[in-house]
Amino acid sequence: MTSATHSPRASSRRFLAGLLGAPIAQSAAPAMHERAAEALGLRCHYQLVEIAGAGREELKMVLEGVRRLGFTGINVTFPYKEAVLDLLDELSPGAARIGAVNAVIVRDGRLIGHNTDTSGFARAVTPLVTASPHGAVAVIGAGGVGKAIAFALAGLGVPELRIFDSDRAKAAQLAARLEGQEEIGAKASVTPNVEDALHGVAGVVNASPVGMLPSVDTPVPDNLLHAGLWVADAVYSPLWTPLLTAAKAKGACVMTGRELAIYQAADAFELFTGLAPSIAELKMAFDGVMAKRYAASSSPLPPHALARGGEGRRR
């Protein structure tokens, strides 16, 4: 498997993209990509490919379909960001370093894996990191998105990462991967529980599926949250997870999954087409999906629900 450093260019005014994962029926990705394309004078059909419990052979068949059916590229989400790695022809240097893929582009019949979760999360969380005390950050979850988030935080100069995962081996593998990157310089350690992970940290990120519908749980007990923390969640379905609701009530600075969703989509769109999308259009598309979702539910849209990530503490 070789490294890829190039990106494709849109060869026509139409393109086909999609998302592979499960569950993804609530994804805002189709609305974002299709609206961004329209704003650039392009036509995009963004297809959801929801397959639960796919094994290696089934994933291989799906990716072969992506290769042969005219897709420009496809996003990959939970639970397949790591499972697709060795089914691709090439990996970008970033995806190879992280060990997870969330965007696959098709170039000359070859499938090339990239990771825009890392670049997207870095763009999203920078205001929180720069405005907070320089300290350790806890990362809850060491799967595909957890890997990307940990590398993004290390790249922003976070000096220490405390990693917790219910699968301790996965947490240990991520810590070893980070420690093996000398140019990053972040200390990475595995913690046996969430309490130890959060002890004395400046911030915490939920990179696990806990709190993603239909789950109504939280990965962090409420008593560990306080006004001195910043708290981010990679989940955006619901936008206000139990974790973020509790953190905001404690006065913590919070960031919903909105910004990560938007910025990773922007970077993926550019990989698919070679064109930079309008961030404003992506935000409007995302916010429209969220507004419709809350309107269809019995609960009103929470105050500031669509505010930019990194909103200030309550006074």
pLDDT per residue as tens digits for the range 155-213: 999 999 999 999 999 999 999 999 877 667 789 999 999 999 999 999 999 999 999 88
| Poorest-pLDDT segment among 4-18, 50-64, 80-94, 162-176 | 4-18
Residues annotated as part of the active site: 81
Binding site annotation covers 143?
yes
User: Is pLDDT of 302 > 60?
Assistant: no
User: Which pLDDT does position 61 carry in this prediction?
Assistant: 98
Binding site annotation covers 157?
no
**Share above pLDDT 70 across residues of the chain, in percent, rounded to a whole number:** 90
Binding site annotation covers 206?
no
Overall average pLDDT of the 237-261 stretch: 96
User: Which pLDDT does position 180 carry in this prediction?
Assistant: 78
pTM over 0.95: no
Binding site annotation covers 141?
yes
- Going by pLDDT thresholds of 50, 70 and 90, the confidence category of residue 254 is very high
User: Which pLDDT does position 304 carry in this prediction?
Assistant: 46
pLDDT in tens, 13-47: 899 999 999 999 989 999 999 999 999 999 999 99
What DSSP string describes the chain? -EE--------SSEEEEEEEESS-TT-SHHHHHHHHHHHTT-EEEEEEEE-TT--HHHHHHHHHHHHHTTEEEEEE-TT-TTTTGGGSSEE-HHHHHHT--SEEEEETTEEEEE-HHHHHHHHHHHHHHHHS-S--EEEE--SHHHHHHHHHHHHTT-SEEEEE-SSHHHHHHHHHHHHT-TTT--EEEE-SSHHHHHTT-SEEEE-SSTTSTT----SS-GGG--TT-EEEES--SSSS-HHHHHHHHTT-EEE-THHHHHHHHHHHHHHHHSSPPPHHHHHHHHHHHHHHHHHHSSSPPPTTTTSPSSBPPP-
Binding site annotation covers 77?
yes
